[in-house]
Structures are given as C-alpha cells and as structure tokens.
Amino acid sequence: MFPIKNVQAHCDIPCKIYDPVLAQIAPLSVIRLMDLIAETKGTEYSLESEATIARLVFEKEEQARIVKHEINIIWGDYFKAPQIEMCPTIHETVHQIMQTGSKCKQEVDSENGIKLLGLVNNFASMFWETKEVSTRLVVAPYPPALGFIQPNLSDA
C-alpha cells in the first residue's frame, strides 16, 4: 500500500534524551521495599498480612526489572565505541548490575539493594562523564535516604 524503500536508524530514541534517572530511582525503591518486607517479620499471620507481603515482593521484583531494563537500553543503544573507550569498565559494570538486579529479585536482603544502588550510581557517573557533565552525590529526601548520583545541570 505504501512502499517503503529503505529506513535507517541509529538508536531507538534520539540520543540526546537518554538519562539513567529511572534506573537510579528503582534501586532506592528496591531497598525500601526490602526494608518494608523485613518489617513484616514476626507479624501474626493473616490473609491481609500475606497479601501485603505479596504486593511488596511483586513491586520489589518490578523495580529490580526496571533497573535491568533501563540500564540495558542505555548500555545497548547509547554506549558506542567512543563512550566505551572513555569508560572501559562499562561492560563489567553492566554485567554486575544485571547479576545484582537478579539477586534482588530472588532475595530480600537489603544489602543486595544497596550494592545495586552503588553499581547504578557508578553507571550513572560513567554516563554523565561521556557527556562531560559533572556529577554530585545527593541523599534522597525519602526512605531509605541513601545517596545517588545526580548531574550538575548547570554544567550541561
């Protein structure tokens, strides 16, 4: 009906709009959800308590999935030869994020979530470095009140 001869694209989305912020918020949520799950330990069994735990576990796993998805998109679509040359440890960092994200889905130990946050912060630092934007560590104003990397937007 509409003959299309040839289409080419560099990335799924325009390169200028990649941002690791979603991948950074998600591990904070994973940690908070793990903390909430831990708070249910020792509570009396009821259908309501089981439903609460089921919701917390489901959302923890969804947030870990978001981390893996967002990191995979940026790593696969944005990081090309020039960025990889600037950040030679990017592949190992992404692999560790994928492994730790899976561990967060499998377990409820908040130490795994804290490790995931650290890895994602490292990834975010590398990402912003490739754009020549300085970063700073800020503390989230909500639980679990941990630090995450943020670009100095005045430098962008």
Domain ranges of the chain: 18-155
Q: What is the DSSP letter of 31?
A: H
Q: Determine the pLDDT at residue 53.
A: 96
Q: Determine the pLDDT at residue 143.
A: 96
Kindly give, in sequence order, each residue whose CB lies less than 8 Å from that of residue 106, ignoring residues fewer than 6 positions away.
none
Is residue 126 within 8 A of residue 56, CB to CB? The reply is no
Rg, Å, the chain Cα set: 18
Candidates 75, 73, 104, 112; CA nearest to 91 is 75
CATH superfamily of 18-155: Nickel-containing superoxide dismutase (1.20.120.400)
Give the H/E segment covering residue 112: helix 110-130
Residues 156 and 134: their CA atoms lie apart, in Å, by 8
Q: Determine the pLDDT at residue 17.
A: 82
pLDDT tens string, the chain, 156 residues long: the values are: 556 666 544 555 555 689 999 999 999 999 999 999 999 998 899 999 999 999 999 999 999 999 999 999 999 999 999 999 999 999 999 999 999 999 999 999 999 999 999 999 999 999 999 999 999 999 999 999 999 999 998 866
